[in-house]
Structure 1
Amino acid sequence: MRTRPLKVALLGCGVVGSEVARIMTTHADDLAARIGAPLELAGVAVRRPAKVREGIDPALVTTDATALVKRGDIDVVVEVIGGIEPARTLITTAFEHGASVVSANKALLAKDGAALHAAAQKHGADLYYEAAVAGAIPLIRPLRESLAGDKVNRVLGIVNGTTNFILDKMDSTGAGYQEALDEATALGYAEADPTADVEGFDAAAKAAILAGIAFHTRVRLDDVYREGMTEITAADFASAKAMGCTIKLLAICERAWDGGSVTARVHPAMLPLSHPLASVREAYNAVFVESDAAGQLMFYGPGAGGSPTASAVLGDLVAVCRNKLSEATGPGESAYTGLPVDGMGAVVTRYHISLDVADKPGVLAQVATVFSEHGVSIDTVRQQGRQDGGGEASLVVVTHRAPDAALSGTVEALRSLDTVRGVASIMRVEGE
């Protein structure tokens, strides 16, 4: 074993960063044996240096992250501060000064992944980011390496634990959205401002990363269609159960049927109870991958939290350090296909539409005519009068697969009918 240690700079020492430092210390001998050289925590950049950080030598703590990554003797920079800046500048500076980078920064990678990969390649450095998607679940490396000889056609996943916890509680207890969110917040699953999670921004960043790796093409955050889940109601879950489904917030990345383009999207969807993702409970994540040769694969586990995310970071750290010792680099960006990213309108999917309509003869015929005029075939229809009377009825229509643009056009036309008092709910149906 080489006696000179590999020096690691840690940017950020919050929930994840402190766990990375702790594991580096408590598992030091094992990590050294696996890498072939010991690791040395050479510096920790933080915003609040006065805070007591158990197990970390205060002499290592600095507020000058730029000076830390410019030192020149740092072998690997671990970036767990998040956000776009200063993370982007710090990472590129680290490359310029000879360090490889391990990052958990999904937002930055989804926005500027191509530029960061180019900078790493220019300076002969590694950029690893297993922890950016689905926490402890090994997903990036299997897609990038284990399935490198296969053709991935679809990636369908639950990639946000907060939203899955909320939807699971709504499903299992009958709670409303706000009640389930309050419980998630009390348990620490949801942030004080849960917007990034419940509006799908977090999942959209992960979808961009997954699509780019799976399809060997560049997919940016702006390419990902996104819908949040704040409008889901107990009535939606009742409708889902009537169909033998549940509701999940899904990240879906797929090739077009002819292989000439790709799509990436995040939105709530009804999912048959028979689908493996339907049974994913609480704050767990799971990703379902479909490929030509391997067939169907599912990756499951905790998708967030200090220890799970630190596990993914340390896995990358071991790999990058091994590369350092062998004077090599691992896989970089693979974007050789250059496939265009289609908008949501090109996606072929199914709709579950709940309408409030006038309870009188001829309404169903009018509604069916609108679907026909837009080239959308109806699978099932369920109509029942309202218990409160008032001359209204509830009409639930489930369609066959059709382009999303045609389905959206159908809904807009339905809104213009005098006999349609309101569109109570619209939800896509996936997994069939």
Structure 2
Amino acid sequence: MTKPVRVALLGCGTVGAEVVRLLHDQAADLTARIGAPIELAGIAVRRLGRDRGALPVGPAVFTTDPLGLVKRDDVDVVVEVVGGIEPARTWLVEALRAGKSVVTANKALLAEDGASLHDAAAEGGADLYYEAAVAGAIPLLRPLRESLHGDSVNRVTGIVNGTTNYILSAMDATGAGFAEALEQATELGYAEADPTADVEGFDAAAKGAILASLAFHTRVGAADVHREGITEVTAADVASAKAMGCTIKLLCIASRGPDAAGVDSVSVRVHPAMIPRTHPLAGVGDAFNAVFVEARAAGQLMFYGRGAGGAPTASAVLGDLVAVARNRLAGVRAASESAYAALPIRPMGEAVTRYHISLDVADRAGVLAAVAGVFAGHGVSIATVRQSGRGEDAELVVVTHRASDAALAATVAELRDLEHVRAIVSVLRVEGEP
């Protein structure tokens, strides 16, 4: 029999435990697909005594020394599902430099310092796979990395965070406010006890950086991504979107195109936006993810499925593990990082889209004219205006034609200083329309 491929597993939480179960339950099929059996050399955990349910491994396989496990001579592949920047970066760089292939689901590390991992992989001649880092079991990164490698991707638009999609879907379906929908998501297990990474857009921004790096052959980090969360989205915003035939989604949008000087560049942004209910992403509900890819030759492609959870994420991990194990047995290495384009990052101020602005104003003659004058002064064209009175107050809802983010920001800043504008209630982008 061919010598087994020995795997070090770092982390045995929800995803790690599911990886162990799948390795056991599918052992015969995995052996047939790879051409050699997979063996767990060890599992690194923080606490040995923690209850992990019924796992098909004995206590001797567990260790609290992850770096020692990674350095063992009998380890061929390292699978990391711990998360975070350090000490995960130290472990993975050590493995890659030693020529041990790595499979990771660590989106935060890849977005923060993927360059260190790719450089270490090149130095050690090892594989670095990370399909599970974005959109769970949805086969997305491999198509960007391999299937579309002969094409030119122009834009990637996606719903890549299940927690926020559940919250916004619940608000749309029931009319609930953000706090109520978040409480429901927490009770159902869709939101963490501390949901900051999700609701403030950090999770989606990390995934956006990874997607943009692959799609545009450019190293993009989390700091390059403009990020806004959904905590300011109100029930009134959702109702206003419905009145326009739209719904609100937290979108990750990565695009390639000319900057203000005509130089080819990359823009990556994460923020809530209204999209028409006819758009393919509008029907993505619950905690599902979907990514819409637009390429020059392939046209429009959509990837859809469960973007999180133990089993879906473990499925993606095992898919990568099969790939790196087969490469190891064949004595080959997968294609290395493709960052040849090295495109500059386009500033958020140059992003162009439509906007929905809700204003609390005094219900007096001349207010509408004054507001319209501010928009015109900054070159922002108004598409529609809706005004509803409430005694001496009124709500003014303005929807613009396409304008730059910088022009809209300047417009909003000046509106705040108008005498009869009492508050800028909300500003939302409108995507998916001409």
Give TM-score scaled by structure 2 length: 0.97
Where structure 1 has 5 or more consecutive residues not aligned to the other structure, the ranges are: none
Alpha-carbon shift at residue 332 of structure 1 (Å): 2.0
1:374 equivalent to 2:378? Answer yes
Paired residue secondary structure (2:264): coil
CA contact (8 A) 1:9 1:42 kept: yes
1:355 equivalent to 2:359? Answer yes
Alpha-carbon shift at residue 52 of structure 1 (Å): 4.0
Cα distance in 2 for residues equivalent to 1:17 and 1:97: 23
In structure 2, what is the equivalent of residue 58 of structure 1? 59
In structure 2, what is the equivalent of residue 272 of structure 1? 276
1:263 equivalent to 2:267? Answer yes
In structure 1, what is the equivalent of residue 139 of structure 2? 138
The total of aligned residue pairs comes to 428
CA contact (8 A) 2:93 2:116 kept: no
Report the residue type matching 1:73 in the other structure: D
Report the residue type matching 1:260 in the other structure: D
Cα distance in 1 for residues equivalent to 2:244 and 2:263: 31
CA contact (8 A) 2:41 2:74 kept: no
Cα distance in 2 for residues equivalent to 1:7 and 1:418: 71
Report the residue type matching 1:311 in the other structure: S
Deviations 1:376-397 (A, max 9, x none): 11111111112xx2x1111100
Alpha-carbon shift at residue 92 of structure 1 (Å): 0.8
Cα distance in 1 for residues equivalent to 2:99 and 2:344: 34
In structure 1, what is the equivalent of residue 18 of structure 2? 19
1:336 equivalent to 2:335? Answer no
1:182 equivalent to 2:183? Answer yes
1:318 equivalent to 2:317? Answer no
Percent identity between the two aligned chains:
69
Cα distance in 2 for residues equivalent to 1:123 and 1:73: 17
Paired residue secondary structure (2:223): helix
Cα distance in 1 for residues equivalent to 2:73 and 2:127: 16
Report the residue type matching 1:398 in the other structure: V
1:36 equivalent to 2:35? Answer yes
Paired residue secondary structure (1:279): coil
Deviations 1:357-380 (A, max 9, x none): 111111111111101110111111
Paired residue secondary structure (1:90): helix
CA contact (8 A) 1:355 1:420 kept: yes
Cα distance in 1 for residues equivalent to 2:327 and 2:33: 12
In structure 2, what is the equivalent of residue 294 of structure 1? 298
Cα distance in 2 for residues equivalent to 1:320 and 1:355: 55
In structure 2, what is the equivalent of residue 423 of structure 1? 424
Cα distance in 2 for residues equivalent to 1:186 and 1:368: 45
Paired residue secondary structure (1:256): strand
In structure 2, what is the equivalent of residue 345 of structure 1? 349
Query: For structure 1, which segment, 52-61 or 263-272, has the greater mean C-alpha deviation from structure 2 after superposition?
Result: 52-61
Paired residue secondary structure (1:240): helix
In structure 2, what is the equivalent of residue 120 of structure 1? 121
Report the residue type matching 1:275 in the other structure: H
Report the residue type matching 1:401 in the other structure: R
In structure 2, what is the equivalent of residue 201 of structure 1? 202
Cα distance in 2 for residues equivalent to 1:255 and 1:414: 32
Cα distance in 2 for residues equivalent to 1:105 and 1:383: 47
Alpha-carbon shift at residue 97 of structure 1 (Å): 2.7
Deviations 1:206-229 (A, max 9, x none): 000000100000111000000011
Alpha-carbon shift at residue 205 of structure 1 (Å): 0.2
Report the residue type matching 1:357 in the other structure: V
Deviations 1:150-191 (A, max 9, x none): 100000000000000000000001111111101100111100
CA contact (8 A) 2:385 2:398 kept: yes
The 5 Å alignment of 1:160-239 reads 160-239=161-240
Deviations 1:268-312 (A, max 9, x none): 000100100000010000000001011110000000000000000
Alpha-carbon shift at residue 259 of structure 1 (Å): 6.6
Cα distance in 2 for residues equivalent to 1:283 and 1:259: 38
Give TM-score scaled by structure 1 length: 0.98
Cα distance in 2 for residues equivalent to 1:400 and 1:57: 63
1:413 equivalent to 2:414? Answer yes
Cα distance in 2 for residues equivalent to 1:56 and 1:280: 38
Alpha-carbon shift at residue 98 of structure 1 (Å): 2.7
Cα distance in 2 for residues equivalent to 1:9 and 1:368: 63
Paired residue secondary structure (1:68): helix
Where structure 2 has 5 or more consecutive residues not aligned to the other structure, the ranges are: none
CA contact (8 A) 2:99 2:121 kept: no
Cα distance in 1 for residues equivalent to 2:311 and 2:159: 20
CA contact (8 A) 2:160 2:251 kept: yes
Cα distance in 1 for residues equivalent to 2:360 and 2:50: 57
Alignment RMSD: 0.9
Residues 259 and 73 (structure 1), Cα distance of their counterparts in 2 relative to 1, 3 Å cut: farther
Query: For structure 1, which segment, 301-310 or 67-76, has the greater mean C-alpha deviation from structure 2 after superposition?
Result: 67-76
